[in-house]
Amino acid sequence: MPIDILMPALSPTMEKGNLSRWLKKEGDKIKPGDVLAEIETDKATMEVEAADEGVLAKILVPAGTADVPVNDVIGLIAGEGEDAKSAAEEHGKGASGLPSAARQEPVPPSPAALAPGQGAAQRPAASVNGQREPRIFASPLARRIAKEGGLDLAAIAGSGPHGRIIERDVKAALSKAPAPARVEEARAPAAPMPLPSDELIKQNFVPGSYEEVPHDLMRKTIARRLIEAIRTVPHFYLTAECNLDALMSLREAVNEAAPKDKEGKPAYKISVNDFIVKALALALVRVPDANVTWTESAMLKHKHVDVGVAVAIPGGLITPIVRAAETKTLSVISAEMKDFAARARARKLRPEEYQGGSTAVSNLGMYGIRNFSAIINPPQATILAVGEAEPRVIVKNGAPAVATMMSVTLSCDHRAVDGALGAELLAAFKTLIEHPMGMLV
């Protein structure tokens, strides 16, 4: 039998992908590790590698195809001893020789054909650690939708490759499930009012007075995740004003002391944002109860501080993560962020470089923004919105004085971080920023 090449799920948020280009053509020999194609996800452009050896028998999804669902078959590999042409022709038929359209909806056996006590939930058992348990093949997305809908995967027939349960199978089962079986849906709050349709919105504007620019995967994902975050995470906001005079002086001294190469280029150049990342990480070390993630059953208290840093890229933004930022020097943080920013703009970040994290920094100060409030990016519990560093008149020792000030706003998930705890965290950050020498020892 030919081996299916499936559209991979390259990130937890990915449901569809764009097949940018094929790097192999039909008839090419394939070995494990060969790069077959490039897939554009909601976050980056990733390479699909072959896991099997053989010949690329058939390309089923051509280059440039958009919105290919995860787990759809995009190509076929003919295995050792198989004729590539025959394998490609066989794909259009099922095991019984019927066209594939005839097997889109598998028909479960009738009750009469089942042995007593047997049902849809009865599946071949797999041995795990000596225990015999049912093994159900389903995509991660199908499992999540089934869990949210209160459905038992064992009762669903799969229409994916080799009987795998995929998204459409679960959605079909949900549409047929009786109301009493969907307990979670009954407990859920009322659905929000639907948004107006595209056509209704367009009626507000004169035809021809606008240009339609279709949303790409990144923009669709950003929209969906931000709506989910603002609806499901109870936000509250805390603002502080930080005096940066000491930090600016220290930054200048640190950069002047940087070793230089033969061409006179410094080994590093620390930015204000690098200090902010380090200060937030150390503040969470001082206030460990805020370095958490909320789950419905427990609070996850993190042993390290992984700080996401929002990076603007064409068409949206991405948040690469500085892992264990509390353990890294300012020069290491600076080098990592320069590398992340360059690869983010080229959409070359790996999923593990932007997934997770316990907090984040969003800095719009370079755009002249004095203050703003940022939306938390789950599963993180906090995000720090950073404004412009600018000279302002303040009161110092009872008299007016000019200082470099910066406004910061901490957004907190109230389920995980209460008001007093958030205030303690922001106070720790302010202390570190205003006494930056403490970050160097």
Please identify every residue annotated as catalytic. 414
Closest CA to 273 of 360, 403, 382, 353: 360
Q: Which residues pair with 403 in a beta bridge?
A: 392
Q: What is the CA radius of gyration of the chain?
A: 27
- Asked if residue 78 lies in contact with residue 84, where contact means CB atoms within 8 angstroms, the answer is yes
Give the residue from 20, 88, 14, 76 showing the smallest Cα distance to 50. 76
What CA–CA distance (Å, rounded) separates 433 from 439?
9
Class of residue 278 by CB neighbours under 10 A (exposed 0-12, middle 13-18, buried 19+):
buried
- Could you tell me the CA-to-CA distances from 432 to 91, 138, 313, 379, 440 in Å, in that order? 63, 48, 30, 25, 11
Q: How far is CA 157 from the centre of its chain?
A: 29
* CB-based contacts of 62, cutoff 8 Å, min separation 6: 19, 22
For the chain, how far is it from start to end, CA to CA, in angstroms?
63
Strands 359-363 vs 382-396: parallel, antiparallel or unpaired: parallel
DSSP string spanning 122-181? ---EEEETTEEEE---B-HHHHHHHHHHT--GGG----SGGG-B-HHHHHHHHHHS-GGG
